[in-house]
Amino acid sequence: MLFSLGENRFHQMKGVKIMSLLSGIRVLDVSTVIAAPFAAGLMADFGADVIKVEMPEGGDPFRRLGPYHNNEAMRWASMGRNKRCVTLDLRKEKGKELFLSLVAKSDVVIENFRTGTMDKWGLGYETLKKVNPQIIVCHVTGYGQTGPNAKMAGFGTPATAFSGMTYITGHKDRPPVSPSFSLTDYVSGLYAAMSTMMALYSRDVLNGEPQQIDVSLYESIFRMMEIPIADYHKNGIIRERSPKLSGTSSPGGTYETRDHKWVVLVCSTDRTYEYLTKAMNRPDLLTNSLYATMKDRLANDVSLNQIICDWIGMLNYKELKDIVDAAGVPVNLIYSIEDICNDPHYKARNNIVEMDHPTLGTIKMPGVVPVFSATPGEIKWVGPELGAHNTEIYQGLLGLSEQDLQELTSEGVI
């Protein structure tokens, strides 16, 4: 390990060239779809040794989730990238023993079983600490480790509804709209990765106590609900559904150009609004008392929005884009995935990478972000086959024999 038990090596490493940002950090990824594995994957992108622990039968359900190509699930290639995969049944006594042996050689455990499951299996935090007093455990659940909902099943879409986000998304005259992909899971994964790194910093740099981390799906979204909660507290306003930013800035929204392209425009500051009036060649909109300040524009948002809509509707997208870019007004085409794959900016930033795949030939996936100047992350391999690293981990790391592996396999432990 980079940080040996009870020892702060931060100062010892000054001046030492680190090949990967998280070299020496070992993470046990004992989780399935989606947030917690994503968190572990982010750490793997930057060099952490992530050991993915899966059930011997089937493994992570992500291996079977669509979309498919030639009947093969494609998402695992990205979600499992850079991880070493082992099989292990934690419910069996020998499985628990092997798991604790791995814990003894690791820095972090990331898990997302329903609250209380690890304790039920005899693998609670206190047990893990006995074999490794320095272990950090990150729990990712739908509703957290405490509270009335703690033991409820937690999935991204219901948690999004619980967070308040779904209620304010969509058109007022239509049903609420859930995100069309697992946004809450991925945002929660960011929180889990960030909080794990903070816990490592506290342990190894500040000589703090190792600790548990409690990440819930709904709180990852609710943390962003400053405006609705303040508005309700002070003004008694229940924010309703809106297809655009509502009550915060004006003008802004989704507009259609003459050649039927959909674009988004937003003016979040007075200066940006001034740029827009110049782009439109409408100085009167800047001096008109109805639109002079942000407060005025919010009060008269409907009429101002119609003016903007009419102006954009008279221009083809290329014409509009040239005008607003020159004026410094933030406007962008609403991109499809085809637009993204053909965009030169995405290409220049290496946002899409094409990796070799054992059965699909190659497969494209999102690149590594954020970008570090000295220690960039990398994708070394796509999601491995189930149990691909059993021999490497159990023999190489734990010192088991070939006969041990054969016995564990026949017993269904691995």
d(CA 215, CA 197) in angstroms, rounded, equals: 13
Is 231 designated active site?
no
d(CA 191, CA 310) in angstroms, rounded, equals: 42
Q: What is the dihedral of CA 367, 368, 373, 376, to 10 degrees?
A: -120
d(CA 226, CA 147) in angstroms, rounded, equals: 22
The residue annotated as part of the active site, out of 185, 284, 325, 404, is 185
Cβ distance 367 to 298 under 8 Å? no
Q: Which two tokens stand for residue 88?
A: 């292990």
Strands, E assignment, 39-198: 49-54, 68-69, 72-73, 83-87, 108-111, 136-141
d(CA 316, CA 263) in angstroms, rounded, equals: 11
CA distances for 390 relative to 54, 77, 266, angstroms: 11, 19, 52
Cβ distance 103 to 132 under 8 Å? yes
Distance of alpha carbon 392 from its chain centroid, rounded? 29
Q: Which two tokens stand for residue 37?
A: 């594995």
83-87 and 49-54 beta bridge pairing = parallel
Q: Which residues are catalytic?
A: 185
